Amino acid sequence: MSDTTNQQDLMRKLMQRAAPGRAEFEDLVIVPIFAVIVALIVGALIMLATAVDIATIGKSYLALLYGAVGSLNAISETLTSAIPLVLSGLGLALGFRAGLFNIGAEGQIIVGGIAAVIVGFSFEGLPWVIHLPLALIAGAVVGGLYASIAGWLRATTGAHEVISTIMLNLISYRLLDYMLSLSWMQREGRSDPVSKSVVPSAELPRLLTDIDPNLRLHAGIFLMIAMVLLVHWLLFKTKIGFEFRASGENPDAARYAGMRASLIIVLAMATAGALAGLAGANQVLGVLERATPGFSAGIGFDAISVALLGRSHPVGVLFAGLLFGALEAGGRQMQVDAGVSIDLIGIIQALIIVFIAAPLLVRAIFPWGFQKPASGRKE
């Protein structure tokens, strides 16, 4: 009887810790908002320290805002930049929830993009209703398989996923270079490393070309929203999602409760890789329409920041991705209008992560923004 009671108590504690509750609202919402505010303030102080006058600082932040949401073109660029960040950030967030620090999203984006572009130019004549989903699925499957290598190594040998995913990132760079050197993949009439263009039936259609042909927002935004909903359902409404979260909170307790630790690791990594692979497919099918060296553009590394800022919650990742997309789009406008280096955006992003990683510091700076714990409350 005592063993049964102990197991029930253990399962109850696992459920309490694995499920997001009201107590997490401040960490999920309030801390990131204040972290962004502090990062912008510190960014302004950095500009002051580098002899940028106050008027230029104000002008640069106004340009940042205008470049992010001040026009239809700005909103289009913000959303276009946010889509791959959210997709890959969702994968990383899922891994974090499962206790896995997957930093291989960059490599998973690359291999997913390679697979998607190959399918995209190899099957001419297919209707788009078949060809486009086939290319997206190819990107997701290959990205998932690539990430599962690190999961399998962790589950069977104990090799840490940080090391293995770094190595897989490096392999993916050289794999891309090799693939782009193959004659059957290179674009006709070109000797430089540029792949063939995907055929129109495999392209993610652009949504605003009737208004302005230069607006790049494409149907990947619907894919992004669908994946946010899917990951939220997976994490918080399914048994495997509960196992991911419980294993991430306390692997030993989850194993004692009968959860299959090795399978959870491989499945979590594969799912994360599939989402990153979708991000790569999004880039080659919706934005670039071909593969080139460096087409991933560091999205996989920026997605780590997005997952951290979003507190590894799907809705939080969505808003964090939109914020980083706005910073990227607005940063270009800031550089043009105010003459401020775009490197400042990288500094602001880094500061946001610093303050996100130090919630006690944020709480100390803004004590009035947080609810004080009730005195004498028992846990």
Taking the CB of residue 352, how many other CB atoms lie within 10 A of it? 26
Q: Please, what is the average pLDDT of the chain?
A: 85
Lowest-confidence region among 151-160, 168-177, 183-192, 234-243: 183-192
**How many residues in the chain?**
379
Lowest-confidence region among 6-15, 25-34, 157-166: 6-15
pLDDT bin (cut points 50, 70, 90) of residue 132 is: very high
Q: Which residue has the higher pLDDT, 173 or 14?
A: 173
> Has residue 349 got a pLDDT over 60?
yes
List the domain boundaries for the chain. Answer: 87-302
Task: Report the distance separating Cα 236 and Cα 361, nearest Å.
Answer: 30
Task: Report the distance separating Cα 252 and Cα 261, nearest Å.
Answer: 9
Compute the C-alpha angle 354/276/212, nearest 5°. 90
Compute the C-alpha angle 358/364/365, nearest 5°. 95
Confidence at residue 372, expressed as pLDDT on a 0 to 100 scale:
63
Lowest-confidence region among 18-27, 45-54, 179-188, 258-267: 18-27
Q: Which residue has the higher pLDDT, 324 or 258?
A: 324
* Residue pair 355/35 in contact by the 8 Å Cβ criterion: yes
Q: Mean pLDDT, to the nearest integer, of 140-159?
A: 94
Task: Report the distance separating Cα 113 and Cα 136, nearest Å.
Answer: 9
In this predicted model, what pLDDT tens digit does every residue of 179-237 receive, in sequence order? Answer: 999 989 998 877 788 999 999 999 999 999 899 888 999 999 999 999 999 999 999 99
Q: Which residue has the higher pLDDT, 355 or 231?
A: 231
The answer, as to whether pTM is greater than 0.75, is yes
Long-range interactions of 67-74: CB distance < 8 A, separation 24+: 67/329, 67/330, 67/331, 67/332, 67/333, 67/334, 67/337, 68/326, 68/327, 68/329, 68/330, 68/333, 69/326, 70/333, 72/208, 72/211, 72/212, 72/215, 73/212, 73/214, 73/215, 74/329, 74/330, 74/333
Confidence at residue 154, expressed as pLDDT on a 0 to 100 scale:
92
> Has residue 371 got a pLDDT over 70?
no
Confidence at residue 75, expressed as pLDDT on a 0 to 100 scale:
94
> Has residue 20 got a pLDDT over 50?
no
> Has residue 18 got a pLDDT over 60?
no
Task: Report the distance separating Cα 171 and Cα 361, nearest Å.
Answer: 39
Q: Mean pLDDT, to the nearest integer, of 253-279?
A: 87
The 3-class SS string of the chain reads CHHHHHHHHHHHHHHHHHCCCHHHHHHHHHHHHHHHHHHHHHHHHHHHHCCCCHHHHHHHHHHHHHHHHCCHHHHHHHHHHHHHHHHHHHHHHHHHHCCCCCCCHHHHHHHHHHHHHHHHHHCCCCCHHHHHHHHHHHHHHHHHHHHHHHHHHHHHHCCCHHHHHHHHHHHHHHHHHHHCCCCCCECCCCCCCCECCCCHHHCCCECCCCCCCCCCCECHHHHHHHHHHHHHHHHHHCHHHHHHHHHHHCHHHHHHCCCCHHHHHHHHHHHHHHHHHHHHHHHHHHHCCCCCCCCCCCHHHHHHHHHHHCCCCHHHHHHHHHHHHHHHHHHHHHHHHHCCCCHHHHHHHHHHHHHHCCHHHHHHHCHHHCCCCCCCCCC
* Residue percentage of the chain with pLDDT more than 90: 48
User: Which residue type occupies 52?
Assistant: V
Q: Mean pLDDT, to the nearest integer, of 85-92?
A: 96
Confidence at residue 278, expressed as pLDDT on a 0 to 100 scale:
96
Task: Report the distance separating Cα 143 and Cα 269, nearest Å.
Answer: 10
- Angle, helices 72-97 vs 299-309, to 10°: value is 70
Q: Mean pLDDT, to the nearest integer, of 34-44?
A: 85
267 token code pair: 């499945």
Confidence at residue 23, expressed as pLDDT on a 0 to 100 scale:
47
pLDDT bin (cut points 50, 70, 90) of residue 373 is: low
Q: Which residue has the higher pLDDT, 356 or 140?
A: 140
Cβ neighbourhood burial of 367 (10 Å; 0-12, 13-18, 19+): exposed
Confidence at residue 13, expressed as pLDDT on a 0 to 100 scale:
54
Span between the terminal Cα atoms of the chain, in Å = 25
Q: Mean pLDDT, to the nearest integer, of 54-72?
A: 87
